[in-house]
Structure formats: structure tokens, C-alpha cells
Amino acid sequence: MKPVDGAAVALVTGAARGIGAATTRRLASAGWRVVAVDIGDAPDAAPYPLATREQLSTVAAEFPGAVVDVVADVRDADALRRAVATAEDEFGRLDAAVACAAVMAGGTPLWEATDAEWSALFDTGVAGVANLARAAVPALLRSPHGRFVALASSAAHHGLWHLAGYNAAKHAVVGLIKGLAADLRGTGVCATAVSPGSTRTDLLAETARLYDLESMEEFASHQLHERLLDPDEVAAVVAFLCSAESSAITGSVVHADGGFQP
């Protein structure tokens, strides 16, 4: 994947592990500069462990001078504005913003869901995406090929059992992207979503735990590939949408789901 124009610059949230880390590695390996954002050590941010500060530093250290790590909580709009400023200060511009950060919660019927679960899903998974858009779009409008990419999910297109809050949050991400793309009409900046199927990450391990499964591998049977996706396979799609070559796509969803069927 060629960078947009010389050393293109991306900001990726949720960059310490999983699909966000794979996206950071893909872009940096292709010559991009990347501001890699994650929450740092925040033991109470979700009912299961999120990424550590050390995991974020480890991803950045693989690309000295090309990836800068920034601890920021996507629920904090000002922190994301500072992260965008870091991209422009360190690397001179911002060409792509990728919203990967989200959390998983559920495992019960909706009427038994807690307030904390609902807040976690929407504050991080929806408001966090909007916060990134509000912080990044002014800078993306200064790029010749600005791109905003958000991770939705197969849960944005189906009602998955005992995941109504996650379903709702991911449907909201798709709605946000469609509205953002409409607002970006005529600017050349594209807004897209990627909907992965079951991908081998800590978030999927948490989903397996909520379902009382012995292993996340049990999700493989829901995909035509009959295997889980690797985070790098999803990152390849995200990286394409970050590139200038994706200019025909805006306001829509790319399904990177291995043929997911509920």
C-alpha cells in the first residue's frame, strides 16, 4: 500500500493491540507516519483488561521515528485534539484518522444490561468515534486526500444474541459515518466504515467469555472461511481505505468478515 503522497500521516486509536495495532504496523510498514493512540493503564475502563501502556510503547518502538505513541482516552475530546496536534507538530499533516478503539460488553438479554455496560459501549464505541471525527476532520480537510475510517462490525448489520447494546453501538457507528460523509460532500475527504467478522483479538476472547464458550475458535463456524480472521487481514482493508486509491468509496461500509453469517 503506497502512502498518499510522500510521508502520509495517520492517527489510529486502539493502536496498542488487535486490529488497531495491525493497522498501525501496516501503515508504518508502507511508509506512513502514525500517531498511535491508546488508553494506557486504565484498569477500571472496562470489565476486562484493556491494553497496557507497555503494549502501546512496544508497537511504537517497532518503527522508531515513524510511529509516535500517545496515551489518550477516546472519551476525552480534548485529549484527541491534542493527539491530532501531535500529528501536525511531529509530522506536519494528517491524512487519515482511524477509529479502532471500542469495548465489548453484554452476555445478557437487553433488559438485564447494566447502566455501566451501556455507558462503556456508547461512551467509547460511539462518542469516542465522534470525538475523533470532531478532532481530526479540520486537519483532514487540509490534506489532499483526507480519509476517516471507523471500525463497525458484523454486529452493525445483524441482531446478535445477547449483544443488543453492542449491536446498537455498532449500528450507530455506521449511521455516524453516513452522516459524516454527507457533511463532507464535495470536499474530497472520504468517510467509511469497515465491518469485520470474528477476528482473533482480546475483544473476541471477551465475547467468547460472555458466551461461556471454551474458546473464541468456536466463532469460526459462523464464517464461510470456517476460520477466524487475522487482525492483519482486516488491517489490509483499513489501510486501503486510508489510501488515495480508495477515492471512489465514501459514506458506505466495507464488509471484511470472511462471509459472516449469524
Ligand X SMILES: NC(=O)c1ccc[n+]([C@@H]2O[C@H](COP(=O)([O-])OP(=O)(O)OC[C@H]3O[C@@H](n4cnc5c(N)ncnc54)[C@H](O)[C@@H]3O)[C@@H](O)[C@H]2O)c1
38 counts as binding ligand X under rule CB under 6 A: yes
Taking the least distance from each CB to ligand X, the nearer of 124 and 143 is 124
Pairing state of beta strands 190-196 and 252-256? parallel
193 counts as binding ligand X under rule CB under 6 A: no
Is 211 one of the annotated active-site residues of the chain? no
- Contact set for ligand X, span 194-253 (CB under 6 A): 196, 198-199, 201-204
Site string for ligand X, 48-67 (x = CB under 6 A): --xx----------------
8 Å CB contact between 90 and 145: no
Cα distances (angstroms) measured from residue 128 to each of 56, 99, 120, 183: 18, 8, 10, 19
Torsion on CA atoms 156, 106, 149, 261, rounded to nearest 10? -40
95 counts as binding ligand X under rule CB under 6 A: no
Taking the least distance from each CB to ligand X, the nearer of 143 and 163 is 163
Pairing state of beta strands 33-38 and 147-151? unpaired
User: Which residue's C-alpha cell is 493497522?
Assistant: 23
| Active-site choice (32, 91, 148, 166) | 166
35 counts as binding ligand X under rule CB under 6 A: no
- C-alpha 12/C-alpha 38 separation (Å) is 9
153 counts as binding ligand X under rule CB under 6 A: yes
Contact residues for ligand X, defined by CB under 6 A: 13-14, 16-20, 38-39, 45, 50-51, 73-75, 100-103, 124, 128, 151, 153, 196, 198-199, 201-204
Q: What residues act catalytically?
A: 166
